[in-house]
Each structure stands twice: as structure tokens, then as C-alpha cells.
A and B are shown apart, each in its own frame.
Chain A
Amino acid sequence: MTTGPEHLGDELQDLLDARLDASSRAKAERHLQVCEVCRLEWRSLAAIRQAVRSALAPEELPAGLAEETAEQFERSGRIRGPLPMKTAAAIAAGLAAIVLFLWIGRFRDVAAVVDRDYEAVREEKVPLEMRTPDPQALERFFADRGIRFRTRVFDLGMMGYRLVGGRVDVVAGRPSALFVYRGEQNKILVCQMFEGSARDLPRGAEMRRHGGISFFVYRRDARTLVFWPEGEVLCVLTSDGDAEELIALAFVKAVPA
């Protein structure tokens, strides 16, 4: 064995692979001059390394391999790399602006979406999923369709509006119970209920207080939207009719949480 203190042991491999510093190498080489055992082992290892390098000399690349690989580059597109700082900063700023816009827009859209829904119903662009004059039947329909909160479909007969029917819509990504009334001169009144709070509403509302409840009134040309919260649900009435009449209707039908 060459692992005793008098022999180089593993240092032979480090010498062979040029991993010794100058001082250690000189010391090892001096040892090899006087130690036949280590010299024999060193020569054996060197011979093996040389034999392996010689026997496993590199073969030529197969014909066409480089070309085929280059074609794959073309098909794979560009190298993915880090974006230049300016480009990355511009993209980050753009994304931030989009997120901010969507965040703000999400709330602004609540009124816009309700407004748009009213228009779609008025022009009969969206079908009602259930047509019924029975408020309780429509409430059951909403429950069956997965509306999680308890809906209150008003009976507005005393105010000259009859219930037509309803559908499940979506407002700001949340399911909304939408129901439609028709009044004199074929006026349309739409009510929606969806999970949300006053914080979801956009700025610019006209505030009204009645019976301890805050009402948020938005006017868009001849159209009026009146929002109010009931617990975790936002309710809204929309109509092209008289604004004060609609607001009064909301006052009557709203229930404190």
C-alpha cells in the first residue's frame, strides 16, 4: 500500500491532475525520485489516463447533425434572455398601470356594467332565464341557480310595475340576481342584487340618506341608478323613468342590514 506516511497516497492523483501548488508539487516530485513504490503507482495512473485519452479519441460528427440542430434553432425561435433594463422597466410600469387601471376600473365598472345590463334588457338583447310574475318563484329560481345570498324580489304592483322575470347575470365578476319589471308605457325597471359593498362603487355618486341607509345615485343622461347596501349585498334599481320616483322606490324597498 502507498497510503502510509512514507508514501504519497492520494497526493499522487493530485500530482497527476496538476492540482498541487508549486511547493507541494516539488515535494511530491522529490519523493518520486527516491520512492520506487510511489513512482510505479504514479506511472500506472498516468498510463491509464493516457490510454483512456488515446482509445477514446473523439470521433467525427455524424453527417448532417450540425445542420439538423441548426434547423431546430430556427424552429425554436429566439434565445430567451434577460430583458434590457429599460425594456423591463417599461414593461413593469405598463403592467402596473394596467393593474391600477383594472383595480380602479373594477369599481367604476359596477355602475357601468349595471347601466349596460339595463340597456341590454331594454333592447331585449339578453334573454330572461325565467319568466314569471311570481316573486317567490323567482327567488327560488335564483337559489336553485346558485345565488348564495337570500334574494328579495319585490312586489311593486302597488307602484304600477309588474314582474316579468329574471336571470343570473355577472357584475364585477360576481353572480348577480337580475330581475325585470315593466310599468306604464312599457317602461322598464331593472333590479340587481350581488355580493358587494359601498366601497365597490365608483366616485361621483349623489348621496342620499333614508331610514339609516345610504343610497348612491348615479345619473347617466336620462337613466338613473340607485345603489344601496344590505349587509354583504349591494342592491341597485335602474330606470329611464323619473329619477326621484326611482329613488323613492328604493327608499321604500330597502331593508336595513
Chain B
Amino acid sequence: MTDPSASDAEDRRAEFEREAIPLMRDAYNLALRLTRQPENARDLVQETYLRAYRTFANFRHGTNCRAWLFTILYSVFVNRYRKERREPKSLSVEELEERFHRTLESKSAADLVSTSDAPAWSDPDVERAVSDLPPKLRTTVLMVDVGELTYEEAATALGCPVGTVRSRLSRARKALFVTLEEYARRAGYLRNASEEK
């Protein structure tokens, strides 16, 4: 006679393989952006999947498995890699808004984003700009814009209110715009805003 508990375990394992394993690439990429080290990213993914495997019974079917995995991954990341790190000082919301809108007022910047569907920023510049974001803003961008989580899912993964995700995302995108505009101007793609006037 078949042991029902063994059969249940096999079913759960099969379901885990069906739901979670295909998302390993997404998890690895998030881990890579968070740790910035391929070896650390490998370890982080392995630890994440091991925990996910052991606790798969906690996963609610019908919900986003990627969000569930990212939640575990971020928790492991924070516990393992972020213990001693302090959040670097970033621009205040007011300063950021001011710089963002000052940049927007530059006609060249307007041209940059309105004359072509494809942004003119190079991928390495974007990657560097994302990498230079304060960790909380960077993590939010990685969760929502790259990982394609909803605000609610990202809030669960990051352990913060949805409003905080919204506000961090807003600040992150504006900070990226300002930074990339500066990169472009330095590279000679844009004239200084003051030269425009």
C-alpha cells in the first residue's frame, strides 16, 4: 500500500519543480544585482532555493511564486550581506525633485527622451547608475522594474508599506534620470542646461 504522506511529499516536490525551478534565472539575476558578485549570487540563490524547498508548503498556490522567492532571497540577502552596512546618505526628496525638474527644463534633455523611442543612454551607464543608487532605492527598482513585481508584492518582499515602495520607486527613477543626464552631458551628448538659456 502506498504511504499517503510520501505521495504528498512527491506531489509537493513535483509542484516545486514546476513552479519555482523555472524562476531560478530571475532569482539569480536579482541576486547578482544585489550582491554584485557572481559567486555570492550563486550562494544566495542556493540558500534561497533550499529554504524555499523546505518551506514550500507555506507557498500559497495561485499567488506569484516569483514574489515569494524574491521575498526569501531578499531576507537571506539582508541577513547575510547587509548586516553591517549603513544606508549611504542620499539626496533629500526636495533636492531630488528640484534637480529632476531642472533637468527636465533643459530643452536638450527633452529632446533626448522625446525624439526617439529608444533611450540614448548606454547600457553600462544605466547599470552603473542603478548600481550607485542608495540600496533601498536600488532594491525597489530591481524588484519592480526588473523583477516585474507589483507594488504590493515588492512591499511584502521588502517588508515595508506599499506607499513606501511607491515613493522609493519615484525617487529612484528621478535620481536615475538626473544621473544619466549628467553622464550624457559629460560625454558630450548634451549641452549644459545653463548653455541652453
Chain A residues with CB under 8 Å of B49's CB are 69, 72-73
Chain A residues with CB under 8 Å of B55's CB are 79-80
Would B53 and A58 count as touching, CB distance under 8 A? Answer: no
Would A51 and B29 count as touching, CB distance under 8 A? Answer: no
Q: What string of 1s and 0s marks CB contacts (under 8 Å) between A1-37 and chain B?
A: 1110000001001000101000000000000000001
Which of A47, A62, A79 contacts B54 (CB under 8 A)? A79
Would B42 and A1 count as touching, CB distance under 8 A? Answer: no
Knowing A44-B113, A84-B8 are in contact, say whether A65-B45 is a contact too (CB < 8 A): yes
Chain A residues with CB under 8 Å of B33's CB are 56
Asked whether A210 is an interface residue with its Cβ less than 8 Å from the other chain, the reply is: no
Would B16 and A52 count as touching, CB distance under 8 A? Answer: no
Q: Which B residues, 97 to 121, have Cβ-Cβ distances below 8 Å to chain A? A: 97, 101, 104, 109-110, 112-114, 119, 121
Cα distance A45–B175 in the bound complex, in angstroms: 10
Which of A61, A79, A87 contacts B12 (CB under 8 A)? A79
Would B173 and A76 count as touching, CB distance under 8 A? Answer: no
Would A56 and B126 count as touching, CB distance under 8 A? Answer: yes
Would A81 and B146 count as touching, CB distance under 8 A? Answer: no
Which of B4, B24, B57, B127 contacts A69 (CB under 8 A)? B24
Which of B114, B130, B144 contacts A55 (CB under 8 A)? B130
Chain B residues with CB under 8 Å of A49's CB are 145, 173
Which of A47, A56, A66, A76 contacts B119 (CB under 8 A)? A47
Q: Which B residues, 68 to 112, have Cβ-Cβ distances below 8 Å to chain A? A: 97, 101, 104, 109-110, 112
Cα distance A83–B8 in the bound complex, in angstroms: 9
| Interface SS of A by simple majority | helix
Cα distance A194–B141 in the bound complex, in angstroms: 70
Q: Which B residues, 18 to 64, have Cβ-Cβ distances below 8 Å to chain A? A: 21, 24-26, 28-29, 32-33, 38, 42, 45-46, 49-50, 53-57
Give the Cβ gap from B123 to chain A, nearest Cβ, in Å.
Answer: 4
Give the Cβ gap from A37 to chain B, nearest Cβ, in Å.
Answer: 8
Would B53 and A76 count as touching, CB distance under 8 A? Answer: yes
Cα distance A238–B149 in the bound complex, in angstroms: 76
Cα distance A80–B24 in the bound complex, in angstroms: 21
Chain A residues with CB under 8 Å of B24's CB are 61, 65-66, 69
Chain A residues with CB under 8 Å of B112's CB are 47
Q: What string of 1s and 0s marks CB contacts (under 8 Å) between A55-96 and chain B?
A: 110111110011011001100101111111001000000000
Give the Cβ gap from B191 to chain A, nearest Cβ, in Å.
Answer: 17
Cα distance A81–B29 in the bound complex, in angstroms: 29
Asked whether A253 is an interface residue with its Cβ less than 8 Å from the other chain, the reply is: no
Which of B12, B25, B123, B177 contacts A48 (CB under 8 A)? B177
Give the Cβ gap from A20 to chain B, nearest Cβ, in Å.
Answer: 13
Chain B residues with CB under 8 Å of A81's CB are 8-9, 12, 56-57
Would A52 and B130 count as touching, CB distance under 8 A? Answer: yes
Asked whether A230 is an interface residue with its Cβ less than 8 Å from the other chain, the reply is: no
Would A66 and B121 count as touching, CB distance under 8 A? Answer: no
Would A87 and B146 count as touching, CB distance under 8 A? Answer: no
Cα distance A223–B169 in the bound complex, in angstroms: 84
Would B146 and A44 count as touching, CB distance under 8 A? Answer: no
Asked whether B65 is an interface residue with its Cβ less than 8 Å from the other chain, the reply is: no
Asked whether B155 is an interface residue with its Cβ less than 8 Å from the other chain, the reply is: no
Asked whether A186 is an interface residue with its Cβ less than 8 Å from the other chain, the reply is: no
Highest count of chain A CB atoms <10 Å: which of B4, B9, B113: B113
Chain B residues with CB under 8 Å of A82's CB are 57
Asked whether A40 is an interface residue with its Cβ less than 8 Å from the other chain, the reply is: yes
- 20 other A-B residue contacts (CB within 8 Å) besides A52-B145, A52-B176, A84-B5: A2-B101, A10-B170, A13-B173, A17-B169, A40-B113, A41-B104, A44-B177, A47-B119, A48-B173, A51-B121, A55-B124, A56-B33, A59-B29, A65-B46, A68-B46, A79-B12, A79-B16, A79-B53, A80-B54, A81-B56
Q: 6 closest Cβ contacts across the A-B interface?
A: A81-B57, A55-B126, A55-B123, A51-B119, A47-B113, A78-B9
